[in-house]
Amino acid sequence: MRMLIIDDDARTRAFVADGLRQQGHTVDEAAEGETGLHMAVEGAYDAVVIDRMMPGLPGLEAVQAMRTAGLKAPVLMLTALGSVDDRVAGLNAGADDYLVKPFAFSELSARLQALVRRPPLADAPMRHQVADLEVDVAAHRATRAGRTLDLTPHEFKLLERLARNAGHAVTRAMLLESLWGFHFDPRANLIDAHVSRLRAKVDRGFDRDLIHTIRGVGYVLKTPE
């Protein structure tokens, strides 16, 4: 596989790049965010590893720009910041997973393998319809009753996951694992906080709710009976 490593710290960059090369991967490197952004958008990479805190263009802004430019490759963000709020910020920026420094190379490698094993977007339906809600995966757009919903990248991914399983329960653990590769306790409030914000955008102001809580299980997107 072809990987891109973006990190201003030469030791970390060399540690990750050398380990991946020893596994047989092709690895390109960038020492700052702006160069890495151009390489990620113009290259054909299977995965991108990027540091969050860099001078110039920080990792959060670089990932946001990559997603805006249409990058579909999975992104693993590296950081010394490990609080839940920091992880949420990285995921909302468009990263697929989040690894806190210091880390073992074996964990980084396993996380990358998990990310690239996810089925490509082309294998999934590109449009989902539930009542007056339409989720257009190809256009990365969601509308309700013709009104465009202003969603963050991870709110959109969460809604797409619920829409793909419309009418069926999706557990918190399933959402954590399938969206972000995390293995947190499913009682953690990461998913609940995202769903609360998503509900405010999908259901508020409309005459019927589409996102419902299944107590002790998770959530379901469906038309109320």
For the stretch 83-98, pLDDT in tens is: 667 777 777 788 888 8
What share of the chain in percent tops pLDDT 70? 89
Contact of 85 with 99, CB cutoff 8 Å: no
pLDDT in tens, 152-208: 888 898 898 899 889 988 887 777 766 665 555 544 577 888 899 999 999 999 999
Return the structure tokens found at 212.
């419902």
- Mean pLDDT (the chain) is 85
| Residue 89 confidence (pLDDT) | 76
**HEC profile of 45-74:** CCEEEEECCCCCCCHHHHHHHHHHCCCCCC
pTM of this prediction exceeds 0.85: no
Q: What is the mean pLDDT of residues 43-65?
A: 91
The CA-atom distances, in angstroms, between 72 and each of 40, 94, 184, 210, 221 are: 10, 10, 25, 28, 25
Helix, strand or coil, per DSSP, at residue 134:
strand
Q: Is the pLDDT of residue 21 over 60?
A: yes
CATH of 2-117, one of 3.40.640.10, 3.90.1150.10, 3.40.50.2300, 3.30.56.10: 3.40.50.2300
Domains 2-117 and 122-221 share a fold: no
Cα–Cα distance, 160 to 163 (Å, whole number) = 5
Q: Which DSSP state fits 122? A: G
Residue extents of the structural domains in the chain: 2-117, 122-221
Domain 122-221 has CATH 1.10.460.10: no
Return the structure tokens found at 41.
């958008």
